[in-house]
Copies of this chain bind each other. A is one copy, B any other.
């Protein structure tokens, strides 16, 4: 078989590949991350690269270009995935997120972390008290707390005899929740009980958010977010599932998410001076596909009718088994999911929002690449999924970015001269637009008459230009929004709105019966509910019914890692939610088509919205 050398610039990484391998595949193999929203179908145009031959340079789509000779390929910045891990500290209000104890208290969950350390001074054995080392440990632990079922693996037992004697019978035992049992995870010499940390993760299709939590004090030491490295293999869960089915695909997707997480863990622990060995557990919430890929479970059947995942309740595994860099014996747990398209992130969000115990009918709308809607109260819970795409996470749009420093999160447009006043996160120089910024922007453009209700740019002004991607509106410097972006955002908002609408309809209710609307998503500090209603993303209900709760999946993960009670509650929520599959729902397509207008084709649904 012919082999050719492909060199990627500016890294100067060279890899040898077989003839006809695409440049995108070669880049993935070489560890060069290229954006590929469509997963290699050649339609998103995100993977443009410059192929150098002699002095000439040609632009090609990496996913559509087979290698036929040795090549030099330059990957321009705009075709790269943003791999930077960002600090989210500034985006959370201190009271809620630095001290997690309040949230636990509000829900009456006891502080009982998924892994807890106990310092023990064991009585030394003598001829009158010669029970075995392990029983001695159990006896002492049971003086502190009742543990009906305790287990200890062979690795710890093999070290136990010498360890107890070398440490003069003073040891710290880490007890971990492992499915329905309690396990001795670690036995360490001396008193290390003061240092016990956990990592809570929300693993999104596009964005991964992680928090380092002090399991003793319930303080959040730091929060980070990073684009999921799996994005090189496609932007939505469907393209990931297809890729997983290819030779070696599952392993690559698994490695990509683990790499992203390990990078975040490394940054958080380094910054906060935490030894990786003192991180004893990890709790992950994410959609069902993400959870399958996290544990290298084939997700193939998730996308095949009748859309059945292998497992919604995944077993607890050892960190080493999954490949995550915390204490190798530490335990990794997943929040249980409901179905193929309503995952543990929804369960976690329902938990943290408190929706499951409300008297009044409430709805949780989680706006992400895989959007989820849950309707219910303390008596029932129903949910569905809406494939919105990554637009509201700032991905797949010309100038999209996450809610991080420099992102435009608010916009004002003067209807007279169309002058734009953007406000950025951290008041930094604008570098892009995040989800909440786009919502503002569309609403302001509508009000200023820059676009029509179908999303076409109709204004004529120096700020309106024509590029090779069609018409675009300039916000500031090189930061623009074009018609393709607007179309993208329109489809995303239509998917979410119509999913909520059909869920309410299915329960025989009117939208007005919904008394509380919890809005979740990685929008940063805020989402302007008024504007979200104006563009038709959220239903037109009295504004005081809305509550923006940010990343509710991460908030739930944090509660669960700190409380076995919260975990039990999450298990019950996952079992209680009834799932509606929209893709086979005959009414859904109509609802969706009707929503492909700003705010909607049926303006009676949005009585307060007037442009």
Contacts and interface: CB of A to CB of B under 8 A. Distances in A.
A126 B179 contact: no
Contact of A310 (B133, B297, B305): B133
A160 B309 CA distance: 10
Contacts of A132: 308-313, 339
A99 interface: no
Contact of A312 (B135, B315, B584): B135
Contacts of A59: none
Interface stretch (A149-157, A215-223, A374-382): A149-157
A160 B312 CA distance: 13
A298 interface: yes
A149 B315 CA distance: 12
A315 B133 contact: no
A611 to B, nearest CB: 41
A88 interface: no
A311 B180 contact: no
A133 B309 contact: yes
B305 A127 contact: yes
A31 interface: no
Contact of A301 (B127, B158, B165, B313): B165
A151 B125 contact: no
Contacts of A158: 295-298
A154 B134 CA distance: 27
Given A157-B297, A298-B161, A306-B125, A130 B581 contact: yes
A311 B181 contact: no
Interface string A160-194: 11100100000000000001110000000000000
Interface string A514-548: 00000000000000000000000000000000000
A559 interface: no
A131 interface: yes
Interface in A267-286: none
A339 B151 contact: no
B180 A130 contact: no
B311 A134 contact: yes
Contact of A300 (B161, B310, B314): B161
A41 interface: no
Given A181-B181, A297-B158, A130 B339 contact: yes
Contacts of A301: 133, 161, 165
Contacts of A162: 298, 300
Contacts of A315: 151-154, 157
Name which of A126, A305, A315 has the most chain B CB atoms within 10 A of its CB: A315
A160 B581 contact: no
A92 interface: no
Name which of A161, A295, A300, A584 has the most chain B CB atoms within 10 A of its CB: A161
A317 interface: yes
A161 B308 CA distance: 9
Interface of A: 125-127, 129-135, 149, 151-154, 157-158, 160-162, 165, 179-181, 295-298, 300-301, 305-315, 317, 321, 339-340, 579, 581, 584
10 contacts: A125-B308, A127-B307, A151-B315, A152-B311, A157-B314, A158-B296, A158-B297, A160-B310, A160-B311, A161-B298
The 10 A-B residue pairs whose C-beta atoms are closest, nearest first, are A134-B311, A149-B180, A161-B310, A125-B308, A132-B312, A127-B306, A132-B309, A130-B306, A133-B310, A132-B311
Given A127-B584, A130-B307, 13 more contacts: A125-B308, A126-B306, A127-B306, A127-B307, A130-B306, A132-B310, A133-B309, A133-B310, A135-B312, A154-B315, A157-B295, A160-B311, A161-B297
